[in-house]
Amino acid sequence: MTLAAYTPRSLPESLGGLFTLALDLRWTWHHGSDELWRVLDEETWESTRNAWLVLNSVSGDRLEELAEDPSFQLRYREQIAAHQAFAQANTWYSDNCPGDLGAGIAYFCMEYGLSESLPLYSGGLGVLAGDYLKAASDLGVPVTAVGLLFQQGYFRQAISNEGEQLEFYPYNDPTMLPVSPLRDADGQWVRVVVPFPGRHVRLRAWKAQVGRCELLLLDSNDPRNEPGDRGITSELYTGDPEKRLQQEMVLGIGGWRLLAQLGIQPALCHLNEGHCALALIERAFSWQDLHTTDFKTARTATRATNLFTTHTSVASGFDHFSHTLLRLYLTPWLETRELTVDGLMKLGLPGTVCGFKTDDASLNMAYLALNMSGRVNGVSRIHQKVSQAIFQPFFPRWPADDIPAESVTNGVHTPSWDSPDSDAIWTRACGKDRWRRPLQNSCPMSAVSDAELWEMRRLQRKRLVHYLRRRLASQHCEQNPGQDYGAACGLLLDNETLTLGFARRFTEYKRPDLLLKDQQRLLGLLASRDRPLQIVLAGKAHPYDQPGKDIIRRWKAFSRRPDVEGKVVFIEDYDLGVASQLIQGVDVWLNCPRHPWEACGTSGMKVLVNGGLNLSQYDGWWAEAWTPDVGWAIRSGATFEELANSNDHDLSDAEELFDLLEREVIPAFYNVDEQGIPRQWVEKIRASMDHLTATYSANRMVREYVERFYLPMALQGEQRDPSTAADIVSEHGEITRCWPRLRFSAVNVIESDGSQTYTVELYLDGISEQRITVELVSEASGHGPRTVTEMTMQHPLAGSAHSYLYECIVPSRPQGHYTPRIRVRDERLNLPLENPAVLWLK
């Protein structure tokens, strides 16, 4: 389709600014312009929440009418002025670190969850990426995001009369999405080309404005491409590995080429998961061409400013591609490069593999990202431990505690998730611009009374019940009502009943069926006359996840029982719009994955701003946040080691979940005073809102990335000029050649009043003593915590070239508890990520 097809319609001159407002996705979280879209076309706005669609749907006569309407003109001018003030205002970044990140951050992700009107997401990874972009805009952090414009995206869900999940893939008409063709300086549509076997795939570029940030999207649906290639960017997370690789080539190779074509030279590249790893190879190629170097030097120079964030909790979750598939698809891209397909594969193989057979090896995209990055992080403290365990094969001679996976706990973009009622509470307590400032760890709720907090919750629950009834009607509840038409359509849902919410991807490890482990106890809770419970469920199972689909079918069957119908409802087609309604209205958010498979679990963070409480597995973010005064935890206090080595705890966790509901959660909700207020419950609301909302916000998360990662990485990257990078490569090669010949000559221990003096004689075979560190390591035991003590070089050993004596003093421990090791020392590198060489005394 030509660019002319996407030329915006004409508007009355006095309303020309509506284009700017409608194409800036800031309206997804800043609701000042909502009334404009509602006046333009209330039905379209309420059903789609798509300002661009509203603007393209309204008739010309209606626009002319509003152009002459003084009240509409007043609201319009107010919003235009507010948008201009927003664009020109100082930000946290401009006030605290102006220019420190140069051209800013290139952020790559396979999916983005910004709004239900832009369906380019499937779940938590995409929603996190969307919240990251929104918070970066609020704080003024210069981020350019890169993704794919899917023609269909993730599937839309319906449930059959038999409870089977049905998948639909409606077409996303780009003219109706809040995006615009990306144009070059001459006004032409920007296109990028990626080499494929026997042909070139042309990619069209689009732009979504996200406040101060831009999201650039690539789309293969160019009529000049072959039919199969036009479908590369059709659906998200296809089960076909060939198409998956094609998508990752388009995202990584095409995405970086797009930035280069636009003249964007970001200070850092941040990968959100390993799907984007090929972007780092293409980035190195670009640097190599610019500086006329070899690939090793380019890789060394660029990796200092590559950050890899992983959200995966099991090694099998990483993408793997066979050598055969890679040879077919990557050969055209690499044929003019010194890097071969085999060389690329070695960058994505575990550190234990010195060679490989082409018939059984596969490329691990996470390992490739790891081997091209200067730093790597998980998304919670427990997930840091999980990531260290997953990446252990990459560092075969390193203990898990030394594997350089760090952590930044995820956060949610609070303004995107608060209800009108909670927004009013927060505005009075903390000020109108609270979410655009650096949020402190606490925002005191002392100015808000118990009665006001409880009334906020009552209004939110009432709005949720109203929404659920409308939603159930749209699901054709009357066509298969089970026993009772009214119950099936939500008429039994009650505004004053404790409402439990569970909504996320339906897959076995998330245990959406944990409550079904003891149906009799669950029936007892639902049937209680004086302390009733109602449950709202939503979520999709991946099209190829049959066990997940079976869980949906079991819940649907349970919800249709005569003694349950109307008290448990399943909302179909879970998306951001559904999520927003649920997290605003439910009293308790349930999350119960198997330990330790929940990387973070950000869905529970979204209820905080609205006074919802969490009942969650002690995993992910909740293991950091939970205290008895803010909510409830299943298997509280469990350590990572206990969790990682645990067996199946489904039944015991289900029993604890029911105990918590019966003994603590439900009594606290219904134990009201003479004023009808459950004081104990409200105190938990107050503590949760006060102590957790700011800490688990994307505002905090983005600032943490800037301060702990982006700024120091950018500084390190400035020092990796071509000469320095070449020196590092040369020294690395020399160390690699000499390392097999390093050895320990002698180790001696002298006891003295509770301490031990260790001396170690080393032969370094020509490696400079300034390029190695000698340490004495003791793992945690009953004699104390883990210790790593650096040994000091005392003097060269006479009569033996390249031999030295090292010494240190440590607390006494039994024989065998301390082990010497040699590792690389280089302040220019992030170690051991950039050089994992290590030698232990046998």
**Which pLDDT belongs to residue 98?**
80
714 pLDDT above the threshold of 60? yes
Residues 6+ apart with CB under 8 A from 532: 494, 497, 498, 526, 567
pLDDT category at 488 given cuts 50, 70, 90 is confident
Q: What CATH homologous superfamily does 449-696 map to?
A: Glycogen Phosphorylase B; (3.40.50.2000)
Whether 102-154+192-410+712-717 and 733-840 share one fold: the answer is: no
pLDDT recorded at residue 437: 67
Say how far apart CA 436 and CA 491 lie, in whole Å: 40
According to the model, what pLDDT value does residue 210 have? 98
CA-CA distance, 142 to 212, in Å (whole number)? 8
Q: What is the pLDDT of residue 215?
A: 98
pLDDT in tens, 76-116: 999 999 999 999 999 999 999 887 899 899 999 999 999 99
Q: What is the mean pLDDT of residues 780-803?
A: 92
- Domain spans of the chain, in order of start: 3-88, 102-154+192-410+712-717, 449-696, 733-840
Q: Which fold has domain 733-840?
A: Immunoglobulin-like (2.60.40)
Q: What is the pLDDT of residue 440?
A: 64
Q: Are 129 and 113 contacting, i.e. CB atoms less than 8 angstroms apart?
A: yes
Tokens for 343, please give them: 């060389």
Q: How high is the mean pLDDT of the chain?
A: 93
Write out pLDDT tens, residues 384-420: 999 999 999 999 999 999 999 999 999 999 999 999 9
Identify the residue with better confidence: 480 or 294: 294
Residue 204, class by beta-carbon neighbours within 10 Å (0-12 exposed, 13-18 middle, 19+ buried)?
buried
pLDDT at residue 261, as a whole number: 96
192-201, 432-441, 475-484, 665-674: which has the minimum mean pLDDT? 432-441
Tens-place pLDDT, residues 421-475 = 999 999 888 877 766 667 666 667 778 999 999 999 999 999 999 999 999 998 8
Both tokens assigned to 591: 């999350």
The structure's pTM equals 0.95
Residue 826 has pLDDT above 70, yes or no: yes
Question: What mean pLDDT do residues 154-164 have?
Answer: 92
Return the structure tokens found at 152.
């269909």
Region 676-693: mean pLDDT is 96
Instruction: Quickly state the pLDDT bin for 356 (edges 50, 70, 90).
Output: very low
Confidence at 646, pLDDT banded by 50, 70, 90:
low
CA 403 to chain centre: 21
> What mean pLDDT do residues 548-554 have?
96
Whether the per-residue pLDDT at 501 is higher than 90: the answer is: yes
CATH topology of domain 102-154+192-410+712-717: Rossmann fold (3.40.50)
**Position 354 confidence tier, pLDDT thresholds 50, 70, 90:** very low
Among 7-11, 132-136, 576-580, the range scoring the smallest mean pLDDT is 7-11
- For residues 525 and 661, the answer to whether their CB atoms sit within 8 Å is yes
Q: Phi and psi of 824, rounded to 5°?
A: -75, 145
Report the share of the chain in percent with pLDDT over 70.
95
